Amino acid sequence: MALQDAVVKAINQMLGDKSSYQAQLQLNIASVIRASQTTSVENIGEKLMVLQQELIQKAHSKKAYDEIADEIFRLRELRQQTTVDTATRDEQIKRINDLQDYISQQTTYLTEFDEALVRRCIKQITIWDDHITVELKFGVSIDVDA
């Protein structure tokens, strides 16, 4: 029961300081987007096209051909991973936006433990000697007294 109370207290702390937490969530979205911009599927596709043209031109040179073929294989794997990463990024942004919507729509504090909300929002709870850290799936951690 104390753990449930701590979660309610953490969520209420977030609701009590909406602007601060919403600003942090915006920073988290920006961070997720910046991290994904370094490698895009389109960028990889362009590099692959250039290398495939080089491969055709260097077909007579076995060493150059093998190096380019290896690089093409690596880029294809990277493109596949980037596609997965993009889907993950989009899901993270959706979760963050969902939390922002939840925060902005709440006009009152929680009065009791909400299991559905916890499943949707809580990533991890860490119990320390003097406090409990509630980590949300959106990159926000809230400390409450134990």
Beta bridge partners of 82: none
Would you give the distance in Å from CA 86 to the centre of its chain?
10
Q: Is 0.85 surpassed by the pTM of this model?
A: no
Round to whole Å and give the CA distance between 29 and 34: 9
Round to whole Å and give the CA distance between 143 and 50: 51
Span 97-123, mean pLDDT?
Answer: 84
Q: Who has greater pLDDT, 131 or 34? A: 131
pLDDT surpasses 70 at 38: no
46 phi and psi, to 5 degrees?
-65, -45
Whole-number pLDDT of residue 143: 93
Round to whole Å and give the CA distance between 20 and 76: 41
Q: Where are the alpha helices (DSSP H) in the chain?
A: 2-16, 18-37, 41-57, 62-105, 115-121
**Residue appearing with tokens 């294809």:** 76
131's CB contacts (< 8 A; 6+ apart) are 143, 144, 145, 146
Are the C-beta atoms of 95 and 7 separated by less than 8 Å? Answer: no
pLDDT surpasses 90 at 126: yes
Round to whole Å and give the CA distance between 80 and 30: 23
Q: What mean pLDDT, rounded, does the chain reach?
A: 82
pLDDT digits (tens, 9 = 90+) for 57-105: 777 666 677 888 888 888 889 888 888 888 888 888 888 788 788 778 8
Whole-number pLDDT of residue 87: 84
Whole-number pLDDT of residue 102: 79
